[in-house]
């Protein structure tokens, strides 16, 4: 029977090895990417809000409601 602590230790060693192979973004790249995500998030939110406003007006006009 294999000791579970040995399995966990082996797993963590593999994870550490894989993380060392990863390329991490620089601080500037991270900030630029975050800003881009926030800008897209706001733009999409505004678009959805405007589309909702227009659709509600159209549906109300079709149903004859005020």
Q: Are 19 and 27 in contact (CB under 8 A)?
A: no
Question: Is the whole model's pTM more than 0.85, yes or no?
Answer: no
Chain segment 4-59, per-residue pLDDT in tens: 888 899 999 999 999 999 998 999 999 999 999 999 999 999 999 999 999 999 99
Q: Are 25 and 33 in contact (CB under 8 A)?
A: yes
Tell me, what's the pLDDT at 49? 98
Return the domain boundaries, the chain.
Answer: 25-66
Predicted confidence (pLDDT) at residue 66 exceeds the cutoff of 90 = no
- Mean of pLDDT values over 55-64: 94
Predicted confidence (pLDDT) at residue 1 exceeds the cutoff of 90 = no
Burial group, residue 10, by CB count within 10 angstroms (0-12, 13-18, 19+):
exposed
């Amino acid at each position: 029977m294999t000791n579970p602590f040995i399995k966990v230790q082996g797993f963590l060693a593999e994870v550490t090895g894989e993380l060392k192979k990863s390329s991490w973004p620089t601080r500037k790249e991270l900030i630029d990417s975050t800003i881009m995500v926030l800008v897209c998030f706001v733009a999409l939110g505004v678009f959805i809000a405007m589309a909702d406003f227009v659709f509600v007006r159209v549906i109300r006009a079709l149903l004859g409601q005020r």
